Amino acid sequence: MPYSLYHHNTFGIHATCDGFAEYHSQEECLQLAEQLRQSQQAWLPIGRGSNLLFVAPHYAGYIVHNAIKGIECMEESNDEVVVRIGGGEIWDNVVEHCVEQGWYGLENLSLIPGEVGAAAVQNIGAYGEEVGIHIVRVEGVYVLPEVKAATIERDACQYAYRSSIFKHDLKDVFLVTHVWLRLSKNFVPKLTHKAIVSRLAGKGITPQEVTATELRRSIIEIRQEKLPDPEVTGNAGSFFMNPVVPEALADSIRAQYPDLPCYPCPSDTEEGYVKIPAAWLIEKCGWKGKSLGPAGVNPLQPLVLTNNGTATGADIVALANAIQHDVKQKFSIELHPEVRYIS
């Protein structure tokens, strides 16, 4: 009997899979890993399904969900704490809890959908902050080549823009159980994004007087205004990554479009490259607010593709392909999905 994945993907796609399994502890994860190793079936770990797209109507394999809860303080000094978090915790609940406890550093990542395990896998980021900066280690279980518990220390996690070892070498072999984060007891707001500073200014709050609670509240407001609520309109946040291109290419585009926005690249990128907002490219190709069948481009933030009610995975892919084609044609830039395609 196929298992419905409708409630396991924020795109609201009516896909099915062969079966669904959850683990609530490291012990259960080890047992499940042994079953997966012995079966010849494919398997896919998911969090809240907020960054994937079921392309085919049926996924021939098992969906595996980390349901481990808990936030424990493992180390504490005058300045810092190290917390160990079950990978099944809802990410934003963790941010809220940490701000309440006076453990700072995650405020800018408020209201990002999904769970802690997935956050560590895909190195979630927003407003100049990335979770990888705070990760101390990731605990989990190898399914292959043989079942064993393991801890991956931060230096081995290979964190980069929306990327980690868990999306590459450890893909399809490792299940996350817990994530350890180092947080500060001294609040230093990260205000690199103009949108945040102007939102605070609108409330009469200067960068010197902002509290962590107010910063979190402002980021929640900005996100709620700009990003569609998946409970109402199916979506998976940013659909594409922001492309990193040679400066020379950006210069040649700027000759024609003086308003081209450019941002510095993550520190691990080679020199001579800049990041261009995919949203701008999509808008310039005329896709903002447009639809292709039942799949749409959000009118406020064109980086977000939406299921306008009845879309299948194939409908969303058709729209994504059309956008990629047009951006390539007009700007010679390839957009790469941030959302993971599952077929």
Give the count of residues interacting with ligand EPU (CB under 6 A): 16
Tell me how far, at minimum, the Cβ of 94 lies from ligand EPU, in Å.
17
The verdict on 241 binding ligand EPU (CB under 6 A) reads yes
Least Cβ distance, residue 279 to ligand EPU (angstroms): 4
- Does residue 216 carry a catalytic annotation? no
Please, what is the minimum distance in Å from the beta carbon of residue 77 to ligand EPU?
30
> Of 123, 218, 238, 307, which lies in the binding site for ligand EPU, with binding defined by CB under 6 A?
238
Q: How far apart are CA 308 and CA 55, in angstroms?
A: 16
Q: Which amino acid type is present at position 266? A: P
For ligand EPU, which is the closer residue by CB, 117 or 237? 237
- Verify binding: residue 302, ligand EPU, rule CB under 6 A: yes
Is 149:140 a contact under the CB 8 Å cutoff?
yes
Q: Helix 212-226 to helix 194-202 angle, to the nearest 10 degrees? A: 110
Q: Nearest CA to 274 among 256, 238, 252, 250?
A: 250
Q: Which stretch binds ligand EPU (CB under 6 A): 37-45, 233-241, 289-297, 314-322?
A: 233-241
For strand 80-86 and strand 71-76, is the pairing parallel, antiparallel, or unpaired?
A: antiparallel
- Looking at residue 144, the DSSP 8-state letter turns out to be S
Q: Which residue is nearest to ligand EPU (CB)?
A: 237
Rounded to 5°, the CA angle 109-114-115 comes to 95
Question: Interface mask (CB under 6 A) for ligand EPU, residues 113-132, using x and -?
Answer: -------------xx-----
Least Cβ distance, residue 28 to ligand EPU (angstroms): 30
The answer to the question of residue 306 lying near ligand EPU (CB under 6 A) is: no
Assess contact for 72 and 182: CB atoms under 8 A: no
Under the binding rule (CB under 6 A), the answer on residue 338 touching ligand EPU is: yes
Nearer to ligand EPU, 64 or 118 (CB): 118
- Helix/strand/coil (H/E/C) assignment for every residue in 25-68: CHHHHHHHHHHHHHCCCEEEEECCCCCEEECCCEEEEEEEEECC
Are residues 84 and 103 in contact, defined by beta-carbon separation less than 8 angstroms? no
Answer yes or no whether residue 228 interacts with ligand EPU by CB under 6 A.
Answer: no
The partner residues of 45 in beta bridges, in order of sequence, read 64
With CB under 6 A as the contact rule, the residue among 147, 303, 305, 327 that binds ligand EPU is 303
Residue 175: CA atoms inside 13 Å, Cβ hemisphere, count? Answer: 38
Burial category of 24 from C-beta neighbours within 10 Å (exposed 0-12, middle 13-18, buried 19 and up) = middle
**How many Å is the Cα radius of gyration of the chain?**
20
| Structure token digits, residue 231 | 């409970």
Question: Which of the stretches 36-44, 178-186, 208-216, 277-285 binds ligand EPU when contact is defined by CB under 6 A?
Answer: 277-285
CB 79, CB 98: distance < 8 Å: no
Q: Assess 301 for contact with ligand EPU (CB under 6 A).
A: yes
Residues 97/98/102/105 CA torsion (nearest 10 deg): -150
Is 338 a residue of the active site?
Answer: yes
Element (H, E) at 188: none
Q: Which of 162, 199, 216, 223 is catalytic?
A: 162
Minimum CB separation from ligand EPU for residue 222, in Å? 8
CB-nearer residue toward ligand EPU: 156 or 195? 195
Q: Is 331 in the site for ligand EPU (CB under 6 A)?
A: no
Which of 57, 261, 286, 309: binder of ligand EPU (CB under 6 A)?
A: 261
d(CA 216, CA 224): 12
238 labelled catalytic: yes
Which CB sits closer to ligand EPU, 30 or 245? 245
Stretch that binds ligand EPU, among 80-88, 92-100, 168-176, 300-308 (CB under 6 A): 300-308
Residues within the interface to ligand EPU (CB under 6 A): 126-127, 237-238, 241-242, 261, 277, 279-280, 283, 288, 301-303, 338
